């Protein structure tokens, strides 16, 4: 996305949230978010993005830039380990989701991460009251 892009705004009242929870890689989610923002939606989009360290935040800058340009897209980022230069959340992304997500607003949840991350996140979401019918996922193999 170009830096001189205008602020993306969606019309209409947005009551619900499309929640995306990603761990480590953003993968195809980045393109999907950009497409939805360009085409419009009545839902807010909220990305919870977790990684082990700052070097593991693949695609972070572009997605953060999209969040800064849009009034309908919010991004919450957490690192598993502390970093003195990090100003975001610290801890497991599932803990951040548990603290910051209002299950009453969730229309759909899309999960992207390792199999372990997907299973833990599904458990967290159902524990806070989100039905399994609203949870969709895609996993990738862990790479080191």
Give me the sheet containing 89-90, strands edge to edge: 89-90, 73-79, 44-51, 17-23, 106-113, 135-139
Confidence of residue 29 (pLDDT cuts 50, 70, 90): confident
Residue with tokens 């193999």: 141
Which whole number is the average pLDDT over 110-139?
A: 93
Give the tens place of pLDDT for each residue, 64-112: 888 888 888 999 999 988 788 888 899 999 999 999 999 999 999 999 9
Any domain includes 112? yes
Higher pLDDT, 81 or 49: 49
**pLDDT above 90 coverage of the chain, percent:** 43
Higher pLDDT, 96 or 57: 96
Total count of domains within the chain: 1
Domain presence at residue 10: no
Domain interval for residue 130: 17-139
C-beta separation of 37 from 7 below 8 A: no
CATH label of the domain that carries residue 133: 3.40.50.80
Q: What is the dihedral of CA 97, 100, 105, 110, to 10 degrees?
A: -20
Residue 4 within a domain: no
């Amino acid at each position: 996305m170009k830096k001189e892009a205008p602020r993306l705004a969606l019309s209409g009242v947005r009551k619900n949230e499309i929640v995306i929870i990603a761990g480590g890689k953003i993968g195809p989610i980045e393109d999907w978010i950009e497409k939805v923002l360009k085409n419009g939606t009545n839902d807010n989009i909220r990305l919870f993005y977790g990684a082990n360290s700052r070097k593991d935040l693949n695609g972070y800058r572009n997605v953060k830039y999209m969040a800064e340009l849009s009034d309908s897209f919010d991004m919450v980022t957490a690192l598993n380990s502390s970093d003195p230069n990090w100003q975001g959340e610290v801890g497991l992304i599932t803990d951040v989701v548990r603290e910051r997500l209002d299950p009453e607003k969730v229309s759909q949840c899309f999960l992207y991460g390792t199999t372990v991350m997907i299973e833990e996140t599904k458990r967290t979401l159902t524990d806070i009251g989100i039905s399994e019918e609203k949870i969709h996922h895609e996993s990738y193999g862990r790479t080191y």
